Structures are given as C-alpha cells and as structure tokens.
A and B are shown apart, each in its own frame.
Chain A
Amino acid sequence: MYTFSNRLKITSIILMIVGILGIGYGFISAPSTIEEAKAMVAADAHGGHGEAEAHHEEVGTHHEPKVTHHESVEENHHEAGSAHGQDAAVHQSHDEHTLSKLQNRPWAAFLIAGFFFFMLALGALVFYAIQHVAQVGWSPLLFRVMEAISAYLFPGALILYVFFVLTSAFHLNHLYIWMDPEVMAHDGILQLKQGYLNIPFFLIRSTIFLAGWILYRHFAVKNSYAQDEAKDNTYYRKNFKISVFFLLFFFVTESIMAWDWFMGLEPHWYSTLFAWYVFASMFVSAVTVIAMVTMYLKSKGLLEYVNDSHLHDLAKFMFGLSIFWTYLWFGQFMLIWYANIPEEAGYFLTRIEHYNLVFFGMLLFNFVFPFLVLMNSDFKRVNWFVMIAGISILIGHYMDIFQIVMPSTVGELWSFGVPEVGSILFFLGLFIFVVFSALAKTPSFVVKRNPFVEESKHFHY
C-alpha cells in the first residue's frame, strides 16, 4: 500500500501552477498585431542579421511556396534598392507570415509537451499489452506500475483532444496550414489531399483512436484487478484476448495518429516510416519511465519481490529500443538525404538550417550516451546508472518531438523559453500527480492470481 507522499503531491501541484503561469505568459506575450511581431523580430535580429534570416527562410519554408516566392521577390527588390508599389503588398504578406509563426509558438510548445507526456502513458500501455500477449514471465510484478503510468492516458488524451478541437474547429491557431480555408483555396497540392485532410474527418479519426486506446486501458485494468479476486483464469484469458486486438488496433491507429497530428503539420511532405519513427520515440521513453517509477518505488521499499534482474531487463529494453529509434531516425534521414528529391528534402533542410543543434544534438542524448552507458551488463543493474541514462533518453525524446513540431509551425523564429518550459512543467506536474494518485489507489503492487506471477517473483537473470 502506497501513500502519495505530501512532498511529492505539493511538488506536482507547484509544478502545475508554475507551468500554467508560464503557459499563460506565453500566450500573453505572443504578438497580436503585425507591428508587435515586427518589433519582436527586430529585437531578436541584432542589427544586420535580418537579411540573413530572410535568406534562410527561402530554403526553409517549403510548406508555403507562395510565400517563398514573395520573399525572393522581396529580396531582389532590396538588392536593387528600389521601392515599387508592389513592395508594400509583398511586405504585408511576409509580415503576416511572421505574425502567424510567432502566434503559433505557445500553441506549439503546448502540443509538444502535451504529446510528450501523453506518449509516455500510451507507450507504457502498449508495453503492458505486449507483456500480456507474449505471456512474459518476468514482468507481471511490474503490471501495477505500468497500469498506474497508463492512468495518465485519459486526462492526457482529453487535453490533447480539446487542443485539437480548438485548433481545427475554432481556428485559434495556425499550426495546421491545411485547416486554413485561405491556404486551401490557393494550394493545388493541398486540394488533392482534401479528401483526407479535412476538419470533420480529422476530428472523427482522433476521436476513434483516442477512444479505442482509453477503452482498452479501462477494460485491461479492470480485468487485471478482477483477476486478483477470481477463482480461475477467466479474466487473465480475457485480458490476453483484448490485448491481442488492442495491439492490432494500436498499430493501425498509431500510424494514422502520426500522420494526422505530426505529418499534418507539414502537409506538403510525406515519409512512409514516419509513424514507426514516432512510435519508437514513444516506446523507448515509456519503458524508461517504467524503469524510473520502478526504481523510485523500490527505493521506498514498496516492491518487495522486484530485484535487480527486473531492472536489468528494463534497462536492456531501454538500450535496445534506443538503438531501434536511431535506426529509424537514420533510415528516414539517410534515404531522403541520399536521393535529395526537393519535395522530400525540404523537411530536413529546415531542420538542419535552423535547428542544427537540436536535430543532431538529440542523437547524443538518444543514442550515444545510452548506448555507451547501458552496454555493460553490470551497469544495467546499478540504479543511478539507469537513472542518468533514462534522464538522457527523456530529454532526447522531448527534443525529438520538439524538432518534429517546431520547425513546421514556428520555423526559424523558434527559441526555448518561458512558453516551452511552462508547458513542460505543467504536464510534468500533471503526470506526476495522476500517476502517483493512481499508485496510491492501488491496494497491492503484486498481481495476485496472475498465472506468471510466481515465475516473476523468482525471476533471476
């Protein structure tokens, strides 16, 4: 029986409050008029930088060919030193573009952090389902931990869904350019995709997969508790069956989710393994969080039967899945880099040009560091080694989601400041609060009548 310690509870509430203030500040400080936006860009540009920025933009903003064209015109005009009447219109378009990007920033920051913590819960749920289906012998002792982490699924999904309704149905931001009827009217390529990229269908798809995941979580946890009190293995069998179907459902809907929420940010671009790439990020971070919560509870003396072999197994998953993520990252990057087809390469041009440190830096956090730290078999049993590798993995995968969302929505006007930190703190606080409240409601951390729990108790590597 675990009681949610007061210190942790207060910490999580403080995190949420500070986070909300940060998010609020982000929205207030976003410019509402073109003049404000221009002043902000000028303040950031540090004098002669401005021209270079415009130059970058030409390469970067592939998702709006119209604007790119205007900008190159604009630049030519500047170089010629002439001031035609057309210039005013060109400036107008450029400034509106800048304004909408700056206005996107707090929204994008919210989406990144919101999805990051949501995917931890979702990944943990997938891991949980896999343990059921594979009839794993070592992990039943950790089922309660996984169930508690996946408790965040519902509030996380709700927040994301409200976010998408505000984005699509109420047009409160410009994250998804295809949701803007103005853009749609002038863009032949997007018009061809209108059958898929339209707001009602987008919301219906989101509803279906979020509801499906939440329903599985609800019944799996319910059956898991019922199995504790049962006299036979009925509920265990039920869980086995629904987990199989959940995994089938998940791997279809996860692809669609990645296309909708993330590839949809860059609707002129497509990549076939993108959904798997997002999944790899999700899965490795989720296993990391499972390992972290397990270590925390173990250090409090609450997981009696969990030994360092269980930790060793989780650390092996962290190690292997980090490499899996890197494989997909490289697979996507290298294929596009090698062929260098303009309509595909634009995606990476923006990222390499404006997000160089984030884009390549995340390889250190996600691959090099965990690879070297977690390679040794003995290190995988040392708590603080797994902990620092885990922190590195989580930072790295936040950076990963950041570089998926930010370049497509804020472009070269990005920075990492109050709105981003505020969103992270808010969702971190909420995550801790929900997960540890769920743990506090758990009567016993040992699943009692699971057929594999005895094996799990004596698991030894």
Chain B
Amino acid sequence: MASKVIQAIYNDDDILMLAVKRVKEAHHHIEEIYTPFPVHGLDKAMGLAPTRIAITSFMYGCVGITVAVVMMNFIMIQDWPQNIGGKPSFSFIENMPAFVPIMFEMTVFFAAHLMVITFYMRSRLWPFKKAENPDVRTTDDHFLMEIALNDNEDELTKLLVDTGAIEVKVSEKH
C-alpha cells in the first residue's frame, strides 16, 4: 500500500467535477474529496454507492410503532384496565383511536433519532473527535482531491495540473 497521497486543490466545483471524471477515466483511485459544501452529483461522478440510511430509518420506525403498541397494550389493557372517562379498555382495538397520537409520535421519534445516531456512527462523528482536514481552506472556498500514489508522481501531477488544479502537492497519508 502506498503511504503517500497526492493532493490537488481546485477553486471551483465545476472544474472539480470535470477533474473527477478525467481522473476516473484514467483509472486512478480517488481516496477522498474535501469540499466546503455539498457538490451536487459528486457522489455519482465518484461512483459512490447510494446511502442505505433511509432503509434503516424505516426499520427504526417499525421498532418505534411496535414499542408504542406493546407498551400501551400492556399498560392500558392488560395490566390495569381501568375505566377512565368511559373509554372502552376491553381490547386494544376498541381503544385504539386514543393511542394513535402516541403510536405516531413514537414512530417518528425512533425513526428520526436512531437514524441520526446511525449517521453519526457510520460517519464517525462525535464530540472531541479530532478533525481530519488536510487543508484548512477546504472549509471555506477550496476543493481538495486526494489520490493514492504508487510511484507515479510525475504522471499524476501532470494529469492533475491539466485538469485545472491550482495547487498539487504530495503528502504523507494520515
């Protein structure tokens, strides 16, 4: 494995997109791209797999509604079926309309929060995490493309300069 990477810095997202396409055509492996904001279509150009976070969210929602149903069925129907204001607590279905607001909210709560936590875990984000930023300018107005280097520094430098990079440098992989 290469221990060095080549970093090309761009100052325009359109140029970056064209550069990605050319680098992909030349069959180089793009390690990472750092951008200050979401660049529409960049994931497609890089050939990244689509996210599955919506699927996890759906499953978390199913968990949420199950928790709500089991909880209220136990509390209101099984454990202590009290007569509260004449509401029919003989079976779950008879009293269901009163439970729907909670079922709905629990579904949304589980779907939203567990999905967010999943996102944090999968993208390794947490408080006090050390920022992984190869160049501070990428949070402001520059775009950085990082490519693994395998003794082909000259060739890659030429290609990257050709694609409109304003700066090309080689650095240790971190």
Using CB atoms and an 8 Å cutoff, list the residues of chain A in contact with chain B. 330, 333-334, 337-338, 340, 375, 377
Q: Quick one: which of B54, B58, B86, B100 contacts A334, CB cutoff 8 A?
A: B100
Q: Which residue of B lies closest to A327 (CB)?
A: B104
Q: Which residues of A contact B98 (CB under 8 A)?
A: 334, 338
- Chain B residues 113 to 143 lying within 8 A of chain A, measured CB to CB, are none
Q: Which residues of A contact B58 (CB under 8 A)?
A: 375
Contact in complex: B100, A377 (CB < 8 Å)? no
Q: Which residue of A lies closest to B87 (CB)?
A: A338
Q: Which residues of B contact A337 (CB under 8 A)?
A: 97
Residue among B54, B86, B97 facing the most chain A CB atoms (10 A cut-off) = B97
Contact status of A340 and B100, CB under 8 A, knowing A375-B58, A377-B54: no
Distance A377 CA – B97 CA, assembled complex (angstroms): 30
Task: State how many angstroms separate the Cβ of A105 from the closest Cβ of chain B.
Answer: 31
Task: State how many angstroms separate the Cβ of B54 from the closest Cβ of chain A.
Answer: 7
Contact in complex: A340, B86 (CB < 8 Å)? yes
Q: Which residues of B contact A333 (CB under 8 A)?
A: 97
Task: State how many angstroms separate the Cβ of B11 from the closest Cβ of chain A.
Answer: 26
Distance A377 CA – B58 CA, assembled complex (angstroms): 13
Distance A280 CA – B97 CA, assembled complex (angstroms): 21
Closest 5 CB pairs of A and B: A334-B97, A337-B97, A338-B98, A330-B100, A334-B100
Q: Which residues of A contact B54 (CB under 8 A)?
A: 377
Task: State how many angstroms separate the Cβ of B42 from the closest Cβ of chain A.
Answer: 15
Task: State how many angstroms separate the Cβ of A459 from the closest Cβ of chain B.
Answer: 14
- Chain B residues 8 to 67 lying within 8 A of chain A, measured CB to CB, are 54, 58
Distance A333 CA – B101 CA, assembled complex (angstroms): 13
Could you list 12 examples of A-B contacts with CB < 8 Å? A330-B97, A330-B100, A333-B97, A334-B97, A334-B98, A334-B100, A337-B97, A338-B97, A338-B98, A340-B86, A375-B58, A377-B54
Tally B residues with Cβ within 8 Å of A. Answer: 6
Distance A377 CA – B86 CA, assembled complex (angstroms): 44
Query: What is the interface of chain A mostly: helix, strand, loop, or mixed?
Result: helix
Using CB atoms and an 8 Å cutoff, list the residues of chain B in contact with chain A. 54, 58, 86, 97-98, 100
Distance A334 CA – B98 CA, assembled complex (angstroms): 7
Task: State how many angstroms separate the Cβ of B97 from the closest Cβ of chain A.
Answer: 5
Q: Which residues of A contact B100 (CB under 8 A)?
A: 330, 334
Q: Which residues of B contact A340 (CB under 8 A)?
A: 86
Distance A287 CA – B50 CA, assembled complex (angstroms): 29
Distance A333 CA – B98 CA, assembled complex (angstroms): 11
Q: Which residue of B lies closest to A333 (CB)?
A: B97
Q: Which residues of B contact A330 (CB under 8 A)?
A: 97, 100
Distance A330 CA – B103 CA, assembled complex (angstroms): 13
Distance A375 CA – B62 CA, assembled complex (angstroms): 14
A334-B97, A375-B58 are known; give 10 further A-B pairs, CB within 8 A: A330-B97, A330-B100, A333-B97, A334-B98, A334-B100, A337-B97, A338-B97, A338-B98, A340-B86, A377-B54
Q: Which residues of A contact B86 (CB under 8 A)?
A: 340
Q: Which residue of B lies closest to A340 (CB)?
A: B86
Distance A178 CA – B35 CA, assembled complex (angstroms): 69
Distance A407 CA – B80 CA, assembled complex (angstroms): 37
Distance A333 CA – B97 CA, assembled complex (angstroms): 9
Task: State how many angstroms separate the Cβ of A348 from the closest Cβ of chain B.
Answer: 11
Task: State how many angstroms separate the Cβ of B60 from the closest Cβ of chain A.
Answer: 14
Q: Which residue of A lies closest to B55 (CB)?
A: A376
Task: State how many angstroms separate the Cβ of A189 from the closest Cβ of chain B.
Answer: 26
Distance A340 CA – B100 CA, assembled complex (angstroms): 17
Q: Which residue of B lies closest to A337 (CB)?
A: B97
Q: Which residues of B contact A338 (CB under 8 A)?
A: 97-98
Q: Which residue of A lies closest to B54 (CB)?
A: A377
Task: State how many angstroms separate the Cβ of B32 from the closest Cβ of chain A.
Answer: 26
Task: State how many angstroms separate the Cβ of B88 from the closest Cβ of chain A.
Answer: 10
Task: State how many angstroms separate the Cβ of A364 from the closest Cβ of chain B.
Answer: 15
Q: Which residues of A contact B97 (CB under 8 A)?
A: 330, 333-334, 337-338
